[in-house]
Amino acid sequence: MPSLRRPAAALALLFALACTPASPFEGPGYDRDQGLTTDAPGPYVAVVTEAVVSSDGHDLFDQHVDQIEEDLADRPGLVGVSLRGEVFGDSRWTLSVWEDEAALGAFLGGQAHGAAMGAAHRSTDRVRSARWSVGRAQVPPDWDAALERLDGAQAY
């Protein structure tokens, strides 16, 4: 009788190599059980970002991600965020929704994000992002649709 171990192991390895798990979308304006909890009427600003971490930049990149996560914990105007990453790769993504451009701008101009962008040339090979408007019914945005928005996005 042929062994099923090898094909199963090969399938498991292929799955793991292609696996890009994402954290649940959550934040001060969104609850997984209740949905939107913000009083802001929308439309909102959605942003998807991809960073390809350089082979020697993982520690520095992770330090900045930790600082940004701390900053996001009580960032005014954040609706919610989800993080995604390749299990055996270097690509990392964020998907966030903001109440408006002013809230997003305040985050982008904040210390944690500014420090991360200042170090990006030392920790990443490429960073690109896209932003678009979403209504209440589109929160949280679909990851696949968000990633499509990165097609053709300018790298910086």
What's the mean pLDDT in 141-145? 93
Assess contact for 126 and 51: CB atoms under 8 A: yes
To the nearest whole number, what is the mean pLDDT of the chain?
A: 80
pLDDT tens, position by position, 93-125: 999 999 999 999 988 776 766 565 665 666 667
Domains, the chain: 20-148 (3.30.70.100)
Q: What is the pLDDT of residues 38-91, one digit of tens each?
A: 999 999 999 999 988 777 767 767 776 777 777 777 889 999 999 988 878 888
How high is the pLDDT of residue 16?
46
Decide: residue 3, CB within 10 A, 0-12 exposed, 13-18 middle, 19+ buried: exposed
Provide the 8-state DSSP code for 155.
B
The pTM of this model reads: 0.81
